Amino acid sequence: MDPLSTTTPAAPSLDVSGLAYAYPDGHQALFGVDLTVGRGERVALLGPNGAGKTTLVLHLNGILEAGAGTVTVAGLPVGKKNMAEIRRRVGIVFQDPDDQLFMPTVREDVAFGPAAAGLRGPELEARVTEALERVGMAGFADRPPHHLSFGQRRRVAVATVLAMRPEILVLDEPSSNLDPASRRELADILRSLEVTVLMVTHDLPYALELCPRSVVLSGGVIAADGGTQDLLCDTELMHTHRLELPFGFDPRSVTLSG
């Protein structure tokens, strides 16, 4: 199962090997996951509901502790000792931006991560402004998150994570609940970032648009790994893992720019 399709640089952004996990109630969700994401790659993590995607994501920054196997972020193993640094390096954008944006104003929310890491004063301010500019929300710094549209909130949620200058950006269903315009805007933003991206999604066209490579998590293991287009065109594979393309969408007909 070990994917060696990508030639990884010295230390890949993310290296998961043999990861297994069972919840305290005994339910096992992961059965030995192996996944390597090279620096600067954009990878889509696909899989049916209940495949263990969220469980896997929560291992990446040590919220869940591996029962077996290891997770390494840019050479640094995930563990109690370097948890603060791991959480800075792995930026998770959760599905509901209302969960992610818990501070009273956008500025404070974006500042939360870097401030927790010890940044203060003008340096912190600069970090906040930079992150907000990258998602095109610099004009909204003093607004309360509740007053923003859903798409804007999702972009701010991305900024909150970018402000921590993460090694890898992990997005949980980034396109859910977005109107087509917001969806495209977010895609433009994600493409413009020079950061490793792991994107958990059910939105297969979005995965095809943004991620050259996809992996399928099914039954707690990586069941497929390869070019997104090839993967989506493999009807049998898709069917086996309960992945379905939207009506009228033909991945073969899409020509990718790069």
The site for another protein (CB under 8 A) is made up of 24, 58, 61, 63, 84, 87-88, 90-92, 94, 96, 98-100, 102-105, 108, 111-113, 115-117, 120, 124, 144-147, 160-161, 164
Bridge partners (DSSP) of residue 43 are: 198, 213
Q: Of 91 and 174, which has the nearer Cβ to another protein?
A: 91
Q: How far is the CB of 171 from another protein (least distance, A)?
A: 13
| Token pair listed for 40 | 């600067």
Q: Of 160 and 214, which has the nearer Cβ to another protein?
A: 160
Q: Of 40 and 104, which has the nearer Cβ to another protein?
A: 104
Q: How far is the CB of 35 from another protein (least distance, A)?
A: 19
Q: How far is the CB of 61 from another protein (least distance, A)?
A: 5
Q: Of 53 and 213, which has the nearer Cβ to another protein?
A: 53
Amino acid (1-letter code) at residue 153: R
| Token pair listed for 11 | 């230390």
Beta 68-73 vs 14-22: how paired, if at all? antiparallel
Q: How far is the CB of 116 from another protein (least distance, A)?
A: 4
